[in-house]
Structure 1
């Protein structure tokens, strides 16, 4: 059963991620940030969609700061509901965020939403686990699979993870989005 095996992988990988020392996590976060900022995709992007990290995920707060400092238009997720999924909302600073759904920082004001996701140049997504070929396991809500399902070829989607989250194989379902860009440290 695919769902059950994804749950087992998720449980195992989340435990692995929690076991990364604080110092090692900081070093990996710096390397991933440097790799993203020096990438062609980031340099050319004008509109970037970035998830706001939770405690033991790859830290995106510095990336958001950097993108804002580089005069990029920064959009972050806002969860409408499990059924309706999430939308991309533009922020001007980290002060525009507050704790929202699932304890994740989200925009306080959702009036500045991008209507056409294909206007986004770069999407940076989280993962619990991913293969080197781009198959991803998220947290189980399907938010990113649905958000990315109609993204055009001009939008680049990148997953950022720690090397402990890169695995050889995962069960794949027809709705799973395949990432062609994976950055890890």
Structure 2
């Protein structure tokens, strides 16, 4: 079985496993995840504050059985921080970032996922993103990530790699059951810097990771 086949099979397994959580379990575990995410993300964004622009969070709208991480963007709104979420273009497997300031700026988009309205301001300068809250189906303790198979985030992160620019701080919130022994990684797959679950908050050694 090659790496592509392994990923396809693993995605099926992890989607089924995550869906096995009851509503009450998901609610309790999500609250614990958000408590840690809020602390870590707000600390990072506060340290990025400058006179030139507000700190910027790139986040996503949770879909189906994902942990609901929207409290993080709500806290950003309350602090006057900038929030951007992606609009997907399936024909090119690309995404464009738009600033949102309330739930009124969000509509249903590709794959039934909530997305920003296309008329909203676009963030063109990717260097202005300070923190990315990254979705995923599975992670490992080497900070490997299994995405959903579209490659949208991999292509976005490659923009920093190709331009030889430092990546934003990459943090993921997931349930403990999404942590597996090893995520199969391809050439263009990226690792996150920080992994948060309902029971742990684990940071990578950034200097070591960037050298890999």
Which TM-score bucket, shorter chain as reference? over 0.9
Counterpart in the other structure of 1:55:
64
Counterpart in the other structure of 2:32:
31
The Cα shift of 1:154 comes to 5.8
SS of the equivalent of 1:146 reads helix
Instruction: Please give the residue correspondences for 1:87-98 in structure 2 after superposition, counting only pairs within 5 Å.
Output: 87-98=96-107
Q: 1:172 to 1:72 in 2, by over 3 A?
A: same
Contact 1:54–1:104 (CA under 8 A) maintained in structure 2:
yes
Contact 1:51–1:77 (CA under 8 A) maintained in structure 2:
yes
Counterpart in the other structure of 1:130:
139
Which 5+ residue runs of structure 1 have no aligned equivalent?
none
Counterpart in the other structure of 2:80:
71
Length-normalised TM-score, structure 1: 0.93
- Counterpart CA distance in 2 for 1:135 and 1:108 is 31
Task: Spell out, residue by residue over 1:1-27, the C-alpha distance to the aligned partner (whole angstroms, 9 max, x if none).
Answer: 111111111111111100111111111
**How many residue pairs are counted as aligned between the two chains?**
185
Q: Choose between structure 1 and 2: higher strand proportion.
A: 1
1:80 lines up with 2:89 in the alignment: yes
Which 5+ residue runs of structure 2 have no aligned equivalent?
49-54, 199-212
Superposed CA RMSD in Å reads: 1.5
Length-normalised TM-score, structure 2: 0.82
Contact 2:37–2:173 (CA under 8 A) maintained in structure 1:
no
- Counterpart CA distance in 1 for 2:115 and 2:59 is 11
Counterpart in the other structure of 2:191:
178
Larger radius of gyration: 2
Task: Spell out, residue by residue over 1:94-121, the C-alpha distance to the aligned partner (whole angstroms, 9 max, x if none).
Answer: 1110101110001123441111112101
Moved over 4 A (4+): none
Bigger CA drift: 108-117 or 17-26?
A: 108-117
Counterpart in the other structure of 1:15:
16
Match of 2:156 among 142, 147, 165: 147
Counterpart in the other structure of 1:3:
4
- Counterpart CA distance in 2 for 1:27 and 1:42 is 26
- Counterpart CA distance in 2 for 1:21 and 1:69 is 31
SS of the equivalent of 2:159 reads coil
Task: Spell out, residue by residue over 1:144-163, the C-alpha distance to the aligned partner (whole angstroms, 9 max, x if none).
Answer: 11111233436211121111
- Counterpart CA distance in 2 for 1:147 and 1:154 is 10
- Counterpart CA distance in 2 for 1:110 and 1:167 is 40
Higher relative CO (CA 8 A, sep ≥ 6), structure 1 or 2? 1
